[in-house]
Structure 1
Amino acid sequence: MIRVENLHFAYNGREVIKGVDLTFGEEILALVGPNGSGKTTLAKHFNGLLKPTRGRILVDGMDTREHTIAELSRKVGYVFQNPEHMFFEETVFREVAFGPKNLGVSEKEIEERVRWSLKAVGLEGFEERTPYSLSGGEKQRLAIACVLAMKPKYLILDEPTTGLDLKAEKRVVEVIRSLRRKGHGVMLITHDMDLVLELAERVVLLSGGRKVFDGPVEEFFKLDLERYGLEMPELLLLAERLGAGFVRSFEELTGRVKP
């Protein structure tokens, strides 16, 4: 369990996280809010990239103020919005192997972790490709594989579907669902309300550095999203016009609407 207790954080004396309390476990949690609301700033505290100005964060009981990024990365993996910024090795295999190698893992286990991670994201056979030759969706999945090879319990994915075509987006969604089934906690930082509707088990909404909502997906979509610069998914707008109530997929909608 990740536990956030009265977190405050300031940049150059300006407070951008203001007394946030939060728990996050084995679930798919969507962290949403307008630009500048503090989403990424909050998430960067979970693996020690940032340290609290006040308050604390406990990752399975580990106080992030007392542990290094390397130590916390064994628990929390962070996939950044632009995966290319994570790559610097010549081949996909070496890219995925880099993290475990830095942990001092044996060569045999490194190979096992690389093969397992690439299989988990559907990139078997890509080992000798250069990361920069991959498509946008493949790069996103490679970034997830690099984090998975570290064997973290929790994963944070920052805008994981931004810029992807529909096919690539669906493949990333499949990977996220697979991670959840395998017992990982997955936090999605996203503006994509369709992704929230499709995947999230819980939603946390930040605004102005404060938590203003924390609850079920259905309750979240009852809020005035325009107030927070967010858009209602077209599926829910259609369901409302048809009197179908809350639905999470087109298949669910068609099953409720009688010809």
Structure 2
Amino acid sequence: MNLIDVQNLHFSYPEGIELLKGIDLAFDHRSTAIIGQNGAGKTTFVKLLKGLLKPVSGDILINGVNTKEISVAKLAAHIGLVFQNPGDQIFKSSVYDEVIFGPHNIGIPEDEADESTKKALIEVGLENKVNDNPYDLSFSERKLISIASILAMNTQIVLLDEPTIAQDDYGKQLIQGLVRKLEGEGRLVISILHDMDFVAETFTRTLVFQNGKVTMDNDTKSVFSQTEAVRRAYLEPPHVTQLGNRLGYTETYLTAEQFVKDSLRKREEFKQ
């Protein structure tokens, strides 16, 4: 059974234009990036998955349960959402209290909640700031607190809205490692992103949203190999992909490491 099934999903706000137009998708454990220009319907779609919004028509099944038939509170035990702005999520006066709130809220026993909270803080590198007020920390650290809050709940599905905002290279590598770890555990990570380099380096599957529809859905390499289709969605391919294209390489590169390794191999073949 899929972790998420989306069936003929339509959504519009009251008296507004239709934002999502007949979306059909199935999600297994593969990490999935959602990309597209602003206004394409990405954030609305993620809020629908979380149950914060309800479909106008169509259905969303989370582990076989229709989001129309379950409360947001009960759904929280299955699916966690990290908002784009941590200020929309953080409200406690200490890092520890903020992160343990989620486990408490879904009824995890105290000992388990404490253990998962400490583990999550270690995973985001904030174990030495448990007593700090979150608003004494930087924006990037508050973003990591929000991520830890969801990790501590041990949900099978994790939704991330622009997780790399304000992150330096260390922060991006940390988040990348978390995505890969969760995927390796059979958990599903779905993330909205504008950072195409991070998408290419991190996610197994990529969806392109455009005008309320999914116009591309494939493994990440296959998506970025379709350069013209990506550009028609008003997106730029990853920088290393663009470099390979400009040099006339037929291979689609997703990481600098792949590009360098292949370039060295080609050079050695040329020498011979």
TM-score norm. by structure 1 comes to: 0.94
**Residue segments in structure 2 that go unaligned for 5+ positions in a row:** 268-272
Choose from 224, 233, 236 the match for 2:238.
233
Name the SS of the counterpart of 1:46 in structure 2. Answer: helix
Residue 172 of structure 1: aligned partner: 175
Residue 11 of structure 2: aligned partner: 9
2:238 counterpart letter in structure 1: P
In proportion to residue count, which structure has more helix?
2
How far apart are the structure 2 equivalents of 1:157 and 1:18?
22
Retained in 1: the 8 A contact 2:207–2:217?
Answer: yes
Residue 247 of structure 1: aligned partner: 253
Choose from 87, 90, 94 the match for 1:87.
90
My pick for the range that moved more, 88-97 or 247-256, is: 247-256
My pick for the range that moved more, 161-170 or 30-39, is: 161-170
TM-score norm. by structure 2 comes to: 0.90
Retained in 2: the 8 A contact 1:33–1:206?
Answer: yes
**How many correspondences in the alignment?**
259
Retained in 1: the 8 A contact 2:76–2:106?
Answer: no
1:15-66 per-residue CA deviation (whole Å, 9 max, x = no partner) reads 1110000111211101111111101111111121010100000000010000
1:255 counterpart letter in structure 2: K
**Residue segments in structure 1 that go unaligned for 5+ positions in a row:** none
How far is 1:159 from its partner? Answer: 0.8
Name the SS of the counterpart of 1:56 in structure 2. Answer: strand
Choose from 218, 221, 240 the match for 1:218.
221
1:2 counterpart letter in structure 2: I
1:149-183 per-residue CA deviation (whole Å, 9 max, x = no partner) reads 22210111011112222232222222222222222
1:57-76 per-residue CA deviation (whole Å, 9 max, x = no partner) reads 00000100000111111111
My pick for the range that moved more, 99-108 or 40-49, is: 99-108
How far apart are the structure 1 equivalents of 2:7 and 2:156?
20
Residue 119 of structure 1: aligned partner: 122
Residue 43 of structure 1: aligned partner: 46
How far apart are the structure 1 equivalents of 2:55 and 2:74?
17
Residue 153 of structure 1: aligned partner: 156
User: 1:47-86 residue pairs with structure 2 within 5 A?
Assistant: 47-86=50-89
My pick for the range that moved more, 78-87 or 224-233, is: 224-233
How far apart are the structure 2 equivalents of 1:172 and 1:159?
11
Residue 100 of structure 1: aligned partner: 103
How far is 1:117 from its partner? Answer: 1.6
How far is 1:121 from its partner? Answer: 2.2
1:25 counterpart letter in structure 2: D
How far apart are the structure 1 equivalents of 2:155 and 2:183?
13
Retained in 2: the 8 A contact 1:137–1:172?
Answer: no
